[in-house]
């Protein structure tokens, strides 16, 4: 069911003024205006104003020339929207859910509901009567699809109903093309094309080659409001049209009626503690934490004392709430006694459930490994906490991979026991200057990090060829040496390539470079 309130803004204003249509303040010409870049423009105008010549969309100055006594008041679109939202909630009396159709319409799902009201005609009559009782002008229509109901409510006959079995397109054919819920510029295009009725459009879309032509013209319009084909399909129910229903968010509220009026502070503190505990339970069920609280205390003589509290971060800690309220309750006048107390969370924010005593337990027993890794990962990032795992490669830096800390050990081939490997490996090998007796012989001295070191003992070379199946053909082999300097420090150094192998960056016989790759124990 679609409901259209054509004069929503004016009806609201009249409700505020408390006068019926055409009487009291409404008897004089009146316009609701919005400020635009070019001056005030009329948003809505009452009957007297319309009789005087003013129309919505006119500039106020133009309207004043036609109707000099026109009274101008600012429109309130935000208030209208809020009112429409409340109206949508109220309209759920006719169906399980209702959606807003801003700025002045409602869509109510009445699928399989009409029999509760005695049929669709009686349902529509009920809706009209209820809206009239509220002082709102409304037109309602029922159709199988939201688009069809919308079109009927605005452009169709009064209280129009399309039953499920009937052909929607055929019923709507005489309606103007504006009932397709299209943007103004698309409507302009259609009008210039001579398409005036929904039936014209439908005939074009179903005719031979017509649909392709329309499709081509609107091929880059994705939005349904800009593409008449999509709207037409929605109207006929050939494509789905999701609607967003309005859901009421009730504030968390707990209250206690007291058997005996209380007059003393300790009892009030007890009541507050109970209320806070109740509220915490309610909030916990919703997964929310409270940001603003309102405590209302009803006295026997009908007076109400209200205390409000706002918190810096959403919380669900009852003791915390009590502690904060304790300072605000000192000046509450109990009079003959307080007979009811109500605690309401006027502002709540989502707050995930948390295990409260994890820290306390960890303090005593220590954390588990998984908890420890979680804490480290959260603070340091997922790539900071890893474990080394073996990998199938003979290149030293590729022989070790990094895996999740708690992942199972991957299967691997064991390293040959006669290969001695360093305790620590540098991420990138550092270049060193080496003195040697022969270009392919053992090193004698090397300079690393600006410090000259004698090679007291050396073992090598251990030749490690590049992985030709991954690397380029110009990759050089490495000759690794285990060396110990004069002070006993042990390093793993390598010579990248051989003299005269014609590879690497220096193709013309320059000497190969030396690198330091690891530190032995």
Partner 1 sequence: MDLSSLPTAAGLLAPAATAQRWQPGLGREGVRVLHSEIFAHGDDGAGVAAALALALDDLRYQQEAGAGGVAEEKPVLWVQDERSLKKTGRPYRPGLPPALRHRIIHVAARGAQDALFALEEGLRCRDLAFVIGEVAGNPRELGLTASRRLSLAAEKHGVPLFLVRHDAARDLGSARMRWQVRSAPSPRGCWNPAAPGAPSWHAELFRARAHPPGEWILRNDRETLVAERPAAAIQTAAPDHGDLVPAAGAGSLAAG
Does residue 81 bind partner 1 (CB under 8 A)? no
Q: How far is the CB of 512 from partner 1 (least distance, A)?
A: 22
Round to whole Å and give the CA distance between 187 and 226: 9
Residue 227 corresponds to which tokens in the numbers above?
Answer: 């593409």
Q: Is there a contact between 494 and 443 (Cβ–Cβ < 8 Å)?
A: no
Among 367, 436, 445, 477, binds partner 1 (CB under 8 A): 367
**Near partner 1 by CB under 8 A, which window of 207-215, 341-349, 450-458, 461-469?**
450-458
- Shortest approach of partner 1 to residue 487 CB, angstroms? 6
CB atoms within 10 A of CB 483: 25
Interaction between residue 452 and partner 1 (CB under 8 A):
no
Asked if 365 touches partner 1 (CB under 8 A), the answer is: yes
Of the candidates 25, 21, 20, which has an alpha carbon nearest to the alpha carbon of residue 47?
21
Q: Is there binding between residue 461 and partner 1 (CB under 8 A)? A: no
Cis, bond preceding 240 (omega within 30 deg of 0): no
Nearer to partner 1, 237 or 405 (CB): 405
Query: Should residue 464 be labelled a site residue for partner 1 when binding is judged by CB under 8 A?
Result: no
**Burial class (CB within 10 angstroms; exposed 0-12, middle 13-18, buried 19+) of 488:** exposed
Q: Is position 410 an interface residue for partner 1 (rule: CB under 8 A)?
A: no
Contacts of 384 (CB under 8 A, 6+ apart): 376, 377
* CA-CA-CA-CA torsion sign (79, 44, 247, 250): positive
Cβ proximity to partner 1, 397 vs 471, nearer residue: 397
Does residue number 419 form part of the binding site for partner 1 (CB under 8 A)? yes
Q: How far is the CB of 518 from partner 1 (least distance, A)?
A: 6
Q: Is residue 258 a contact partner of residue 338, using CB atoms and an 8 Å limit?
A: yes
Applying CB under 8 A, the span of 39-47, 116-124, 375-383, 494-502 interacting with partner 1 comes to 375-383
For partner 1, the closer of residues 319 and 371 by Cβ is 371
Task: Please tell me whether residue 113 binds partner 1 under the rule CB under 8 A.
Answer: no
Residue corresponding to tokens 């499920």: 164
Determine which residue in the list 19, 267, 426, 498 makes contact with partner 1, applying CB under 8 A.
426
In order of 104, 105, 396, 483, the CA distances from 48 in angstroms are 21, 24, 92, 104
- Which listed range, 125-133, 325-333, 334-342, 488-496, lies at the site for partner 1 (CB under 8 A)? 488-496
Neighbours of 494 (CB within 10 A): 25
Stretch that binds partner 1, among 97-105, 122-130, 157-165, 484-492 (CB under 8 A): 484-492
Candidates 26-34, 146-154, 195-203, 451-459; binding stretch for partner 1 (CB under 8 A): 451-459
Q: Which is nearer to partner 1, 328 or 457 (CB)?
A: 457
The residue among 329 and 376 lying less far from partner 1, judged by its C-beta, is 376
**Closer Cβ to partner 1, 307 or 421, answer by number:** 421
Considering beta carbons, is residue 125 or 376 the nearer one to partner 1?
Answer: 376
Nearer to partner 1, 93 or 387 (CB): 387
- For the CB of residue 520, give the shortest distance to partner 1 in the complex, in Å: 6
- Residue 480 Cβ vs partner 1, minimum distance, rounded to whole Å: 13
449 burial (CB, 10 Å; 0-12 / 13-18 / 19+) is exposed
Strands 424-436 and 443-448: antiparallel
Instruction: Mark residue 110 as left, alpha or beta (left: phi above 0; alpha: psi -120 to 50; beta: remaining).
Output: alpha
Nearer Cβ to partner 1 (208/359): 359
Residue owning tokens 């000759």? 479
Sign of CA dihedral 504, 506, 510, 514: negative
Which residues 6+ apart lie within 8 Å of 161 measured at CB?
Answer: 120, 121, 124, 141, 142, 143
The least distance separating partner 1 from the CB of residue 281, rounded to whole angstroms, comes to 32
Q: Does 14 sit near partner 1 (CB under 8 A)?
A: no
DSSP category for residue 463:
E
Strands 71-74 and 30-36: parallel
Chain residues binding partner 1 by CB under 8 A are 362, 365-369, 371-373, 375-376, 379-380, 383-390, 396, 399-400, 402, 405, 409, 415, 419-427, 448-449, 451, 456-459, 482-484, 486-490, 518-521
């Amino acid at each position: 069911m679609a409901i259209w309130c054509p004069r929503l803004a004016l009806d609201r204003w009249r409700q505020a003024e408390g006068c019926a249509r055409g009487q009291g303040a409404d008897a004089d010409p009146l316009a609701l205006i919005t400020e635009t870049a070019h001056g005030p423009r009329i948003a809505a105008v009452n009957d007297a104003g319309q009789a005087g010549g003013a129309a919505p969309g006119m500039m106020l100055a133009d309207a004043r020339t036609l109707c000099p006594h026109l009274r101008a008041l600012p429109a309130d679109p935000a208030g209208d929207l809020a009112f429409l939202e409340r109206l949508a909630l109220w309209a759920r009396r006719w169906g399980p859910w209702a959606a807003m159709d801003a700025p002045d319409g409602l869509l109510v799902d009445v699928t399989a509901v009409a029999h509760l009201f005695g049929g669709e005609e009686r349902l529509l009559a009920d809706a009209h009567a209820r809206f009239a009782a509220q002082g709102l002008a409304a037109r309602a229509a029922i159709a199988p699809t939201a688009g069809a109901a919308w079109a009927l409510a605005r452009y169709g006959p009064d209280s129009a109903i399309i039953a499920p079995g009937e052909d929607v397109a055929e019923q709507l054919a005489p309606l103007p093309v504006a009932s397709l819920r299209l943007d103004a510029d698309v409507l302009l295009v259609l009008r210039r094309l001579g398409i005036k009725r929904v039936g014209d459009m439908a005939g074009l879309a179903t005719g031979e080659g017509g649909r392709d032509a329309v499709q081509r013209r609107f091929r880059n319009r994705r939005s349904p409001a800009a593409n008449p084909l999509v709207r037409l399909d929605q109207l006929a129910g050939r494509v789905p049209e999701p609607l967003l229903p309005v859901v009421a968010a009730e504030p968390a509220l707990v209250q206690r009626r007291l058997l005996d009026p209380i007059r003393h502070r300790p009892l009030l503190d007890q009541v507050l503690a109970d209320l806070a505990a109740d509220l915490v339970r309610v909030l916990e069920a919703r997964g929310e934490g409270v940001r603003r609280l309102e405590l209302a205390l009803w006295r026997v003589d009908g007076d109400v004392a209200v205390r409000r509290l706002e918190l810096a971060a959403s919380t669900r800690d009852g003791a915390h709430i009590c502690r904060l309220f304790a300072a605000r309750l000192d000046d509450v006048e109990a009079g003959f006694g307080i007979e009811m107390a109500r605690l309401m969370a006027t502002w709540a924010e989502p707050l995930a459930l948390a295990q409260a005593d994890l820290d306390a337990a960890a303090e005593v027993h220590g954390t588990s490994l998984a908890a420890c890794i979680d804490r480290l990962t959260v603070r340091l990032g997922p790539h900071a906490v890893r474990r080394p795992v073996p990998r199938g490669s003979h290149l030293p830096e590729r022989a070790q991979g990094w895996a999740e800390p708690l992942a199972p050990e991957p299967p691997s081939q064991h390293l040959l026991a006669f290969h001695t490997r360093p305790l620590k490996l540098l991420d990138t090998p550092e270049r060193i200057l080496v003195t040697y007796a022969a270009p392919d012989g053992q090193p004698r001295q090397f300079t690393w990090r600006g410090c000259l070191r004698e090679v007291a003992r050396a073992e090598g070379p251990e030749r490690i060829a590049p992985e030709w199946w991954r690397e380029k053909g110009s990759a050089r082999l490495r000759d690794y040496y285990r060396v110990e300097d004069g002070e006993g420090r042990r390093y793993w150094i390598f010579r990248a390539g051989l003299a005269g192998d014609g590879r690497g960056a220096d193709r013309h016989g320059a000497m190969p470079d030396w690198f330091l790759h690891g530190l032995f124990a």
